[in-house]
Amino acid sequence: MKVLCYDIGGTDIKYGIVEDGNLIEKASVRTDAALGQQALILRLVHTTREMLKKHEVEGVGVSCAGSINIETGTVIAAPEHIKEFLGLNFKQIFKDNFNLECFADNDVNCFAIAEGESGAAKKMSTYLTMTIGTGIGGGIVIRRQIWRGSFYNGAEFGRMFITDKKFEAICSTASLVRAARKAGLSVNNGVEVFEIYDDKNHEKNALAVKIVKEFYQSLAYGIANLFYIFDPEAIIIGGGISNRKRLAQEIRQELKKILDPAFFRNAVLLNAEHANDGGMLGAYYNFVKAYAKPESEN
């Protein structure tokens, strides 16, 4: 089955063709959410039209930031930094413009599904996923099923409070960059913060080490709470930051200081295997599950 898949975030719209679980073509465009919802819809229509000139697809799978009603394909709660997403109805967009079926879900749910199907959690039954980027997203998988909550708002890890601040206000990559700049580092993104952190000969290495250590400590507090509440087989870290191979190991060192030994003994923290393409792959698996015909009908 060939499916056109989108992974829509606050910065970029990633899209591609997934066939039989393999991503055979992909590209991306800027989201430019500030231009408004209609501009975003026009961008989706344009990219879809271009892709359909090259590929015949069964339908569209969408991974999108925010809370998604999977029955209607509608964004019912948008992330605080991209309010323009609120009310987007993906099923309607693709049905009205292309007569294509669509399955839309929260981006971290899609990421969690991809990790379970063909990533770090493929041998697990119950696990959590957490993406760290502009904000922090969460996914909960219990006995191989996504738990979306009673009203499709489940697993909003970034909105939980650590003291008087939301988790993502102090532990997202965006917050790390803000802290680095406030401390005097001239950086544009998280990659540059970690480059100074890793370069022991850099004149501001000590400052970067202090900032990253505080970042890891704050992450560890939130992650410890998740281990205490869910007792999962593992928590899998995604987002662009998960390209850092030592990430899970470095956070776990801070986790060891605060997590009860009885819990720490089983606290598995892993980097995602689908760091950049997990959203699109999860959107594909969702669509196939919803629309694939039984073999007897083929």
Residues 38 and 141 in one domain: no
Residues 72 and 88 in one domain: yes
Given a cut of 90, is residue 152 above it in pLDDT? yes
Residues 102 and 173 in one domain: no
> Given pLDDT bands bounded at 50, 70 and 90, which one contains residue 183?
very high
Q: Would you say residue 117 lies in a domain?
A: no
Strands 127-132 and 136-142, how do they pair? antiparallel
Q: Which helix (H) or strand (E) holds 2?
A: strand 2-8
pLDDT at residue 13, rounded to an integer: 94
Residues 133 and 33 in one domain: no
CATH number of the domain that residue 41 is part of: 3.30.420.40
Work out the number of other CB atoms within 10 angstroms of the CB of residue 270: 22
| Structural domains counted in the chain | 2
Residues 200 and 286 in one domain: no
Residues 215 and 139 in one domain: yes
Q: Would you say residue 215 lies in a domain?
A: yes
High-pLDDT (> 90) share of the chain, % = 88
Crossing angle for the helix pair 173-183 and 190-198, to the nearest 10 degrees: 60
Residues 68 and 105 in one domain: yes
Q: Would you say residue 168 lies in a domain?
A: yes
Q: Would you say residue 214 lies in a domain?
A: yes
Q: Would you say residue 40 lies in a domain?
A: yes
In contact, 271 and 236? CB cutoff 8 Å: yes
Given a cut of 90, is residue 240 above it in pLDDT? no
Q: Would you say residue 115 lies in a domain?
A: no
In contact, 120 and 291? CB cutoff 8 Å: no
Q: Would you say residue 296 lies in a domain?
A: no
Per residue in 69-115, pLDDT (tens digit) is: 999 999 999 887 788 899 999 999 999 999 999 999 999 999 999 99
250 lies in which domain range? 122-271
Per residue in 137-147, pLDDT (tens digit) is: 999 999 999 99
For the entire predicted model, the pTM comes to 0.92
Per residue in 200-231, pLDDT (tens digit) is: 999 999 999 999 999 999 999 999 999 999 99
Residues 143 and 258 in one domain: yes
Residues 73 and 184 in one domain: no
Strands 59-64 and 101-106, how do they pair? parallel
